[in-house]
């Protein structure tokens, strides 16, 4: 019996905390996890950990986790071999594409893809061969407006300015709750400590949220806003900055700022107040405080991207940072200089080069908005989707109008899921190909180092041995690619292993062979606690990828959206709208099958202000029926003074009690899916991102 201490980054959320995992190897060679703790020596997370990381052992040991390829016939699943499975996929997808065209096969990639570097390097080795325009992902129920705005303004969708949280003196957060989410598009382990440090050095934290969230609870100021109307608040803010002469000249080359000034001249704080529900005096004061601070940063996340004016919001946020001189400045918003630099090595992207067949929604970077997925399956005609490949995703619980998507999945001719659970989505698959569990493969963060509040890098070896016959995600894609190419009679370019790709990325990157750091995979292997490459530094000027090599402050598409904004009706009197919510013990839809995370107080309820409950004769804990345009659910209501009156909040990712789901603990949990209420027609019109927040609903006793 030997004990080993491993160091490993947690991949479950964007905070990428360093963990210390102790394992024991028994005489028969089998391994077990003895403990999972925060790694105090980790250069970035300094020992921080949350309850989800401890559940990594539950993922490992879960008897419901699928461990070999499974084929479904009717309601029953049989294990089959890998080669047989690969051949079946090649055969079925080739036949469907031969009969109905390339676009008859669709792809959906879910969130864990970006936390798994083998999926990042190799999923396209197979999926690219399908040459379909029907590609979808979780991006369009999440951060698409961030990418589109950066693409339009800075020339690359990944040039995302990150809040310099450790050095700022004023942080304005809209629609983010990092105390629950641990931060997003702001990789920031131990965010609570860092926000408290901001306050301790005399800085100020302001949170704008229709719910007094956990983060709002530690802020100096919390401002309620009508869901979906942050653009009004941001316009009032920007207008005040211009009107009161609170702007500063930026060191960056900028085109179109005068045009912005003219375009927003009519949107004064006074004119915007009623729409967003924030007093004009508060908007003006926020602008003055922001401009007066030694350094300041405006940061918006989920709450402001998954709403009807998501792109407008993210544009305005960039502008507010820019005109106050805080863009590309310490203490403001800065882009990272990542060790593996995806911005330098990829093109900026493309937008609206083609559109979805039924609703004409624009592609971004080769993906269509997922709100269109079901209609593309259900609407007959040339180009109709007849087969689907899902990778690390659960769109039935994650995308708007999940019930409609279920009906669509039921009608497919073939479906493949690369996933290790039979859940609400994958139960419709004809074939499930399960990868190794997270701790059975190595780890490098290709994505979240790019979004981190410091420049950091880290490579980790597998913690546990790979079981005999198991394949990593990337190996599954190599197997699929080979079988598909063989079936098509096409030649497949040889590929390198993910590790070799990272080694090359490191060596050709900013800290590589040409630098004093000489980073390589071998160098990272010697530093399992990670390497700190210093604070974020101004670099945007040299990283811009626009044709003009200047920031485009007034992209036509976004300026034009102001007219759509101005034309909307004011919120109806007495209207009730739904927003989402996250909890630190939950992770989207897929971590409810572990007892240690679901025990204790229930967390699935609909939060409602007592005043709104009284008006409907509802009492705390009662079962209610929530109805939207697309559907209805039943759930328990919980009274909460933290809600803005007129707003109810429900976390997404629940509602596992559906037939055929093979996740014993999750299925026994109460709760319903928020996405049985969200509306596939409610979108940010510019990007096609789903507007999951601000959904009109009616609530009554069940």
Ligand X SMILES: Nc1nc2c(c(=O)[nH]1)N[C@H]1C(S)=C(S)[C@@H](COP(=O)(O)OP(=O)(O)OC[C@H]3O[C@@H](n4cnc5c(=O)[nH]c(N)nc54)[C@H](O)[C@@H]3O)O[C@H]1N2
- Terminal CA-to-CA distance of the chain, rounded, Å? 57
Q: Where are the beta strands (DSSP E) in 602-646?
A: 606-608, 623-627, 632-639
Q: Which option in Mo ion, ligand X, ligand SF4, none does residue 103 bind, with CB closer than 5 to 8 A by kind?
A: none
How far from chain centre, in Å, is Cα 296? 25
- For ligand SF4, which is the closer residue by CB, 62 or 367? 62
C-beta atoms surrounding 495 within 10 Å: 16
Q: Is 12 in the site for ligand SF4 (CB under 6 A)?
A: yes
Cβ contact 106:135 at 8 Å: yes
Q: Which option in ligand SF4, Mo ion, ligand X, none does residue 463 bind, with CB closer than 5 to 8 A by kind?
A: none
Minimum distance from CB of 649 to Mo ion (Å)? 17
Pairing of strands 431-433, 70-73: antiparallel
Quote the Cα angle for 662-663-664, to 5°: 105
x-or-dash pattern for ligand X, window 396-415, by CB under 6 A? Answer: --x-----------------
Minimum distance from CB of 302 to ligand SF4 (Å)? 15
Minimum distance from CB of 142 to Mo ion (Å)? 4
Residues 659-688 that bind ligand X (CB under 6 A): 674-675, 678
Q: Which two tokens stand for residue 209?
A: 């949220």
CA-only gyration radius of the chain, Å: 25
C-beta atoms surrounding 522 within 10 Å: 12
- For Mo ion, which is the closer residue by CB, 111 or 356? 111
Partners of 608 in the β-ladder: 639, 648
Q: Which stretch binds ligand SF4 (CB under 6 A): 47-55, 77-85, 220-228, 675-683?
A: 47-55
Q: Which of 104, 106, 692, 697 binds ligand X (CB under 6 A)?
A: 692
Q: Is 50 in the site for ligand SF4 (CB under 6 A)?
A: yes
Q: Is 111 in the site for ligand X (CB under 6 A)?
A: yes
Q: Which stretch binds ligand SF4 (CB under 6 A): 50-58, 68-76, 377-385, 529-537?
A: 50-58
Q: Is 52 in the site for ligand SF4 (CB under 6 A)?
A: yes
- For ligand SF4, which is the closer residue by CB, 53 or 672? 53
- For Mo ion, which is the closer residue by CB, 232 or 368? 368
Q: Is 28 exposed, middle or buried (CB count within 10 Å of its CB: 0-12, 13-18, 19+)?
A: exposed
Q: Is 49 in the site for ligand SF4 (CB under 6 A)?
A: yes
Q: Find all residues with CB under 8 Å of 569, minimum gap 6, and list them.
A: none
Residues 594-623 that bind ligand X (CB under 6 A): none
- For ligand SF4, which is the closer residue by CB, 134 or 187? 187
Alpha-carbon distances of 103 from 94, 135, 138, 478, rounded to whole Å? 12, 9, 19, 22
Partners of 3 in the β-ladder: 24
Q: Is 15 in the site for ligand SF4 (CB under 6 A)?
A: yes
Minimum distance from CB of 463 to ligand X (Å)? 14
Q: Which option in ligand X, ligand SF4, Mo ion, none does residue 672 bind, with CB closer than 5 to 8 A by kind?
A: none
Alpha-carbon distances of 85 from 29, 70, 89, 90, rounded to whole Å? 29, 8, 6, 9
Q: Is 142 in the site for Mo ion (CB under 5 A)?
A: yes
Cβ contact 128:480 at 8 Å: no
C-beta atoms surrounding 639 within 10 Å: 20
Partners of 361 in the β-ladder: none
Size of the site for ligand SF4 (CB under 6 A): 12
Pairwise CA distance, residues 375 & 385, whole Å: 9
- For Mo ion, which is the closer residue by CB, 142 or 676? 142
Residues 435-474 that bind ligand X (CB under 6 A): 435, 438, 473
Alpha-carbon distances of 562 from 265, 309, 671, 686, rounded to whole Å? 11, 9, 38, 11
Task: Look up residue 370 and give its DSSP letter.
Answer: G
Q: Which option in ligand X, ligand SF4, Mo ion, none does residue 609 bind, with CB closer than 5 to 8 A by kind?
A: none
Q: Is 14 in the site for Mo ion (CB under 5 A)?
A: no
Q: Is 355 exposed, middle or buried (CB count within 10 Å of its CB: 0-12, 13-18, 19+)?
A: middle
Task: Look up residue 452 and give its DSSP letter.
Answer: B
Q: Which two tokens stand for residue 671?
A: 């709760």
CA torsion, ordered 637, 640, 646, 652, to nearest 10 deg: -60
Q: Is 182 in the site for ligand SF4 (CB under 6 A)?
A: yes
Q: Which of 163, 228, 236, 256 binds ligand X (CB under 6 A)?
A: 228
Q: Is 227 in the site for ligand X (CB under 6 A)?
A: yes
Q: Is 225 in the site for ligand X (CB under 6 A)?
A: yes
Partners of 25 in the β-ladder: 2, 31
Q: Which of 42, 419, 475, 684 binds ligand X (CB under 6 A)?
A: 419
Q: Which option in ligand X, Mo ion, ligand SF4, none does residue 509 bind, with CB closer than 5 to 8 A by kind?
A: none
Pairwise CA distance, residues 566 & 558, whole Å: 13
Residues 533-592 that bind ligand X (CB under 6 A): 579-584, 586-590
Query: Coil, helix or strand for 206?
Result: strand
Q: Is 105 in the site for ligand SF4 (CB under 6 A)?
A: no
Q: Which option in ligand X, Mo ion, ligand SF4, none does residue 313 bind, with CB closer than 5 to 8 A by kind?
A: none
x-or-dash pattern for ligand SF4, window 466-505, by CB under 6 A? Answer: ----------------------------------------
Sign (positive or negative) of CA dihedral 208, 211, 213, 216: positive
Quote the Cα angle for 262-268-270, to 5°: 165
Q: Which two tokens stand for residue 502?
A: 């990272």
Q: Which of 6, 7, 8, 16 binds ligand SF4 (CB under 6 A)?
A: 16
- For ligand SF4, which is the closer residue by CB, 20 or 250? 20
Q: Is 348 in the site for ligand X (CB under 6 A)?
A: no
- For Mo ion, which is the closer residue by CB, 142 or 424? 142
Q: Which of 23, 182, 446, 449 binds ligand X (CB under 6 A)?
A: 182
Q: Which option in ligand SF4, Mo ion, ligand X, none does residue 10 bind, with CB closer than 5 to 8 A by kind?
A: ligand SF4
If you write DSSP's letter for every residue of 455-486 in order, what string do you get? EEE-EE--SSPPPTT---HHHHHHHHHHHHHH
**Which spans in 390-471 are helix H?**
395-398, 402-410
Minimum distance from CB of 547 to ligand X (Å)? 31
Q: Which of 7, 10, 151, 450 binds ligand SF4 (CB under 6 A)?
A: 10
Q: Which residue is nearest to ligand X (CB)?
A: 303
CA torsion, ordered 213, 217, 223, 227, to nearest 10 deg: 0
Q: Is 323 in the site for ligand SF4 (CB under 6 A)?
A: no
Q: Which stretch binds Mo ion (CB under 5 A): 63-71, 76-84, 134-142, 641-649?
A: 134-142
Pairing of strands 170-174, 162-163: unpaired
Residues at the contact surface with ligand X, assessed by CB under 6 A:
13-14, 110-112, 116, 138, 141-142, 174-178, 180-182, 184, 208-211, 213, 225, 227-228, 230, 301-304, 307, 391-395, 398, 418-421, 423, 435, 438, 473, 579-584, 586-590, 652-653, 674-675, 678, 692-694
Q: Which residues bind ligand SF4 (CB under 6 A)?
A: 10, 12-13, 15-17, 49-50, 52-53, 182, 189
């Amino acid at each position: 019996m030997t004990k080993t201490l491993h160091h490993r980054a947690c991949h479950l959320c964007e905070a990428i905390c360093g963990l210390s995992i102790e394992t024991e190897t028994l005489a028969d060679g089998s391994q077990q996890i003895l403990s999972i703790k925060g790694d105090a020596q980790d250069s970035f997370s300094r020992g921080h950990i949350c309850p989800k990381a401890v559940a990594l052992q539950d993922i490992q040991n879960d008897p419901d986790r699928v461990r070999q390829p499974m084929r479904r016939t009717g309601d029953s699943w049989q294990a089959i071999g890998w080669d047989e499975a690969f051949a079946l996929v090649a055969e079925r997808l080739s036949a469907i594409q031969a009969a109905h065209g390339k676009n008859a096969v669709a792809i959906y990639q879910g969130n864990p893809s970006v936390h798994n570097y083998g999926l990042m390097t190799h999923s396209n080795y197979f999926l690219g061969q399908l040459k379909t325009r029907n590609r979808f992902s979780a991006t369009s129920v999440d951060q698409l407006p961030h990418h589109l705005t950066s693409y339009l303004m800075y020339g690359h969708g990944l040039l995302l300015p990150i809040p310099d949280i450790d050095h700022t003196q004023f942080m304005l957060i809209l629609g983010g709750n990092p105390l629950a989410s641990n931060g997003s598009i702001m990789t920031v382990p131990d965010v609570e400590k860092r926000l408290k440090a901001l306050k301790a050095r005399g800085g100020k934290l302001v949170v704008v949220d229709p719910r007094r969230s956990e983060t709002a609870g530690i802020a100096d100021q919390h401002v309620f806003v009508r869901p979906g109307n942050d653009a009004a608040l941001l316009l009032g803010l920007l207008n005040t900055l211009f009107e009161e002469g609170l702007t500063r000249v930026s060191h960056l080359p900028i085109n179109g700022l005068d045009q912005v000034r003219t375009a927003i001249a009519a949107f004064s704080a006074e004119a915007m107040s009623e729409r967003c529900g924030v007093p004009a005096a508060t908007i003006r004061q926020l602008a003055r405080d922001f401009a007066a601070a030694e350094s300041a940063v405006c940061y918006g996340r989920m709450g402001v991207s998954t709403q009807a004016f998501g792109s407008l919001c993210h544009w305005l946020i960039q502008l507010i940072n820019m005109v106050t001189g805080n863009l590309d400045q310490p203490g403001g918003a800065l882009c990272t200089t990542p060790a593996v630099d995806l911005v330098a090595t990829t093109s900026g992207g493309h937008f609206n080069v083609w559109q979805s067949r039924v609703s004409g929604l624009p592609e971004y970077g080769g993906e269509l908005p997922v709100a269109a997925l079901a209609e593309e399956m259900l609407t007959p005609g040339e180009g109709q989707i007849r087969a689907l490949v899902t990778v690390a995703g659960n769109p039935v619980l994650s995308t708007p109008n999940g019930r409609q998507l279920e009906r669509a999945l039921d009608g497919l001719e073939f479906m493949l899921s690369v996933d290790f659970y039979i859940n609400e989505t994958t139960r419709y698959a004809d074939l499930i190909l399960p990868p190794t569990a997270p701790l059975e493969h190595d780890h490098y963060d290709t994505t979240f180092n790019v979004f981190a509040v410091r420049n950091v890098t880290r490579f980790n070896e597998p913690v546990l041995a790979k079981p005999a016959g198991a394949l990593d995600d990337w190996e599954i894609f190599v197997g699929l690619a080979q079988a598909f190419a063989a079936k098509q009679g096409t030649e497949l370019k040889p590929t390198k292993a993910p590790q070799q790709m990272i080694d090359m990325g490191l060596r050709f990157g900013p800290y590589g062979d040409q630098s004093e750091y000489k980073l390589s995979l071998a160098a990272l292997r010697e530093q399992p606690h990670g390497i700190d490459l210093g604070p974020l530094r101004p670099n945007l000027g040299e990283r811009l990828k626009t044709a003009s090599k200047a920031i485009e402050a007034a992209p036509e598409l976004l300026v034009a959206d102001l007219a759509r904004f101005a034309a909307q009706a004011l919120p109806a009197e007495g209207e009730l709208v739904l927003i989402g919510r996250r909890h630190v013990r939950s992770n989207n839809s897929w971590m409810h099958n572990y007892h240690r995370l679901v025990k204790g107080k229930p967390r699935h309820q609909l939060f409602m202000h007592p005043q709104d409950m009284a008006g409907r004769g509802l009492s705390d804990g009662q079962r209610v029926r929530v109805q939207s345009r697309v559907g209805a659910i039943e759930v328990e209501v919980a009274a909460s003074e933290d809600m803005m009156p007129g707003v109810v909040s429900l976390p997404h990712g629940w509602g596992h009690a559906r037939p055929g789901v093979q996740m014993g603990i999750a299925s026994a949990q109460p709760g319903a899916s928020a996405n049985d209420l969200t509306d596939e027609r409610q979108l940010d019109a510019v990007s096609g991102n789903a507007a999951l927040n601000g959904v009109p609903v009616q609530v009554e006793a069940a």
